[in-house]
Amino acid sequence: MYGMLLESIQHFIIERYGDDAWGTVLRQAGLANTVFATHRRYPDDIMTKLACTCSAVLPSPNTPEDYMLYFGTCFVKYFTHYGYDSIMRVAGRHFRDFLNGIDNLHETMRFSYPKMLSPSFYVTEEHDDGCLLHYRSKRVGFTRYVIGQLQSCGRRFYATEVLVEVLKEEITENGCHVIFKMTFDNQAAKQKNTKKHKTALTQNIAHINSATFLKVFTFSIIFNKDLVITHVGETLNMLFANHPLIGSNISSKFTLRRPQMDLNWDNILCLQSVIFELESTHPIRRVSSGRSPNAVISPVSPEATRTLLLRGQMRHLKDLNAIAFLCSPLLSNLAEMCSMGLYINDLNMYDSGRDMVMAGWQHASRLEYSIEKQILKSQQIADNLKQLDQWKQRSEGLLYSMIPQQIAVRLKNGEDPINTCEVFENVTIVFSYLLGFNEMCAEFSPMELVKCFNSVFTIFDAIVDKHKVFKVETLGDAVYMIAGGVPDRRPDHASCAAKVALDLVEAINIYKLPTKHTQKLHIRMGMHTGSVVAGVVGKRMPQYCLFGDTVNTASRMQTNSLPGRIHISEPCQQQLKGSRFVSVFRGRVNIKGKGQMNTYWL
């Protein structure tokens, strides 16, 4: 399908739900950063994927079938941006005229969308309250989409409310055949059937003989009720000199491309107002030019390898009880015409065949260039969006490494930072300190010092991520602070923090400095459990901070610890009771600002 159908979905989803919702739909459908181009062709299943994804992602409680119906109405509203509403308004005086001419409307669009695989529609059993509409398509799964289009066209262009009911839906090897029961005010059909002509020809026109008819309509084919060809126009007769048409069944010489139906007498009589397309089953014979041997002509192969595509109208000749297919060849450019041995004067003057070939030759390259530019531009936009998405993910990753994701999302949505502050009744704070920091500052060069601590804290960060605790901050004097149970509340916060503390001690014991210095690093640690207030403070370089006596006490546990040991408070030890962790009573320790406290080694 062409991109314009998908553009219509994008336009109205964004209009109704916003850009973020549409971006989510594309990602969930596996189409992230896709930019649909009007004249680019896309797989048919994209629309059904979008319907399923919209049903799962968007807030409206609609099924995929509901969204396919909605997509159909979206397309009818959207193509007014391209001026196609003008064509729809002149398609007929009444809705019945529109239904009978849908295939012809598709033909008018084929010049802008040459590879369009349009469905076929035809009307049967017409009456005052509606009709039956047959829909045939090579695509399956678009029934609800078509219903949305039909109802929207009736309402929008003919002020007619249409009730559509599916009477039959048959899946065939070539696609699908659906019969719709169309219920609407169809008084126009009654008027046409009962209207009497008030004028008459004042003079009978003499009949013309078949030879004259076939000279006028050089691409005509006449066949009888048995579909046996009885007469052929002069030019067609020359083209098919190697495969004579007269006396053959038309279905043995041609395949029906449009409309999509069985080629039989009754169907043709019902569809005399519909454009037919027949394609020859055999390659045609190149007509001799009659030029001199020295004439310069286009370099084409003398052996014809092309089939001929004929487009025109079927008309019933009551006097002969035969059908005349009044047609013209479909030629895309002068080169194709020349390859068949045809010339401009072989084409009919009374239709637009000559003009279309000449105009197509003049404008095809310009149109092709414009389409290529549009496709290239859409691809550039898609690439830019993909790159933008990559940079967005990087920036969000950097942001979430400094501020918890759920807090960052609230700030991005415009929430005041002070509103992010919360009370956490039960969290565990861990402080660690690298011993010998002052001595290292005196001995190491600034770059060596930065390299050393960067490698240490990178190891620490990996351990923190592994155990799902929050890194609060890193201070310049080699202090590393983490917290369990904030900003995500969890009952096992003390156990998570204890795992991290033990892993940090083990990591430092085996760590080797990435410099020429041979001294060994040591770590001392402290832990305390209690309540804190956490939130983002400041508007310039905002930071997620923890406040409260629990933070101070945990820091005091660290300053009163020993190298390679984890010093924990009694509340923290009580929190770890019944777990796999073993603690040893250290005794009563005088803690600055707190006095004597019972403390433990982990």
156-165, 283-292, 428-437, 505-514: which has the minimum mean pLDDT?
A: 283-292
Token couple for 102 = 């849908």
pLDDT of residue 258: 79
Whether pLDDT at 289 is above 70 = no
Residue 127 vs residue 343, higher pLDDT: 127
Bond before 114 cis per omega within 30 degrees: no
Q: In sequence order, what E strands does 283-415 have? A: 309-317, 322-329
Exposure string for 277-288, b = 16+ CB within 10 A, e = fewer? bbebeeebbbbe
C-alpha separations of 556 from 524, 549, 593 in Å: 12, 11, 9
| Residue whose pair of structure tokens reads 């139906």 in the numeric block | 261
Q: How many CB atoms lie within 10 A of CB 205?
A: 6
CA 555 to chain centre: 54
The angle, 0 to 180 degrees and rounded to 10, between the axes of the packed helices 493-509 and 446-467 is: 140
Q: How many CB atoms lie within 10 A of CB 72?
A: 23
Each residue's pLDDT tens digit, 533-585: 988 877 777 778 889 999 999 999 999 999 999 999 999 999 998 889 999 99
Instruction: Give the residue among 514, 381, 441 at the shortest CA–CA distance from 33.
Output: 381
Beta bridge partners of 41: 2
Alpha-carbon Rg for the chain, nearest whole angstrom, is: 40
55-69, 99-113, 473-487: which has the minimum mean pLDDT?
A: 99-113
Each residue's pLDDT tens digit, 296-346: 334 434 444 578 888 888 999 888 889 999 888 877 667 777 777 777 777
For the chain, the farthest-separated pair of C-alpha atoms sits apart, in whole angstroms, at 128
Mean pLDDT along residues 276-284 = 85
Q: The pTM is what? A: 0.53
DSSP 422-455: EEEEEEEEEEEEEETHHHHHHHS-HHHHHHHHHH
Whether pLDDT at 354 is above 80 = no
- The three-point CA angle 472-477-482 to 5° equals 20
Sign (positive or negative) of CA dihedral 58, 60, 66, 72:
negative
How buried is 129 (Cβ within 10 angstroms: 0-12 exposed, 13-18 middle, 19+ buried)? Answer: middle
Instruction: Give the residue among 306, 326, 312 at the shortest CA–CA distance from 231.
Output: 326
Each residue's pLDDT tens digit, 360-395: 544 455 555 566 676 777 778 878 878 888 888 888
Q: How far apart are CA 283 and CA 280, in angstroms?
A: 7
pLDDT of residue 342: 75
CB-based contact 224:321 (threshold 8 Å): yes
The share of the chain scoring above pLDDT 70, in percent, equals: 86
Mean pLDDT of the chain: 82
